[in-house]
Amino acid sequence: MDWFSYAFFWKALVAGVAFGLAAAPTGLFLIIRRDSLLPHALTHVAFTGVALGLLVKGAPLLLALVVTILAAFLVLEIRERATLYEDTAVGILASLGLALAVVMASWARSYDVRLLTYLFGNILVLRDQEVWLSVGLSLGALLILWRWGRPLFYVSFDEESAHTQGLPVKGLKFLLAALTATLVVLGMKMVGLLLVSALMVIPGAAALEVSRGLRQSLGLSALLGAFSVAGGLVSSALLNLPPSGAIVLFSGGLFLLSLAIKKLK
């Protein structure tokens, strides 16, 4: 099939590149915070929101967004009040989120193609309004990172120093959590809940291997995120591969390339 002559391919490319530009820099802050498992845990919670939407016959994406943002805030509160290690709170959230999703899906009797669409994604079937939503939210996320990037870096790198400098540490942590949750839900229809966390983390990790300084890392991670989507889509069209898997595999290839470049320096 000559995908390049079809409008759905170009819509997928626009929406996916916009998402990659925003998701990868956001993931970079999570890596700096040593919190790169948070998107993975939030995908389990987003699955709960989808199952809830199917159960009450509501809007799965909207409910997934609300539930995921609330869960991200809950993780932050649990970490502070229960003095748990970051990965412990994330592990608890992931397990409970997935368990609740399975129960709700069984109540809704929705173990069908609708649920699989959210699990594995299909960027090629995005509707026009979903494309514009992706572009709009991605641009909004980029604006937030541009405005609050340096304070977010201080909080991610050293909370105590950020406190001493008078930064609103808790508010910035909530901002990053809400941004992460929003992008997880946004990427759900593109690469699926099972793979969206990889697209948020891998480009940022690759950028950190070869860049110097925060600004360079943010810019390179955004470019690698966008290139991962574009390259994955083209590979999918040429090799007849599932788009979501091709996108993440292409991103993984870029990470391996960054490791090779680092060794050659």
Tokens 């470049």 correspond to 261
Segment among 145-149, 211-215, 228-232 with least mean pLDDT: 211-215
Res. 1 pLDDT band, cuts 50 70 90:
low
DSSP-H helix ranges across the chain: 7-32, 38-56, 60-82, 86-108, 113-120, 128-157, 159-164, 169-191, 196-210, 214-239, 243-264
Domain ranges of the chain: 3-259
**CATH number of the domain at 3-259, out of 1.10.3470.10, 3.40.50.970, 3.40.50.720, 2.120.10.80?**
1.10.3470.10
Assess whether pLDDT exceeds 70 at residue 3. no
pLDDT of res. 86: 62
Which tokens belong to 2? 């000559």
Chain centroid offset of residue 116 CA:
18
* CB contact at 8 A, 234 and 247: no
Distance of CA 78 to the CA centre of its chain: 22
What percent of the chain stands above pLDDT 90? 31
> Among candidates 208, 160, 196, 207, which has minimal Cα distance to 45?
196
Amino acid 88: pLDDT: 75
Q: Nearest to residue 43, comparing CAs of 244, 138, 185?
A: 185
Mean pLDDT of 163-167: 81
Q: Can you tell me the mean pLDDT for 178-189?
A: 90
- 122, 243 in Cβ contact below 8 A? yes
What ranges in 192-213 are assigned the alpha helix state H? 196-210
Mean per-residue pLDDT, 82-88: 66
- Mean pLDDT taken over the chain: 85
Amino acid at 182: T
Return the pLDDT at 112: 59
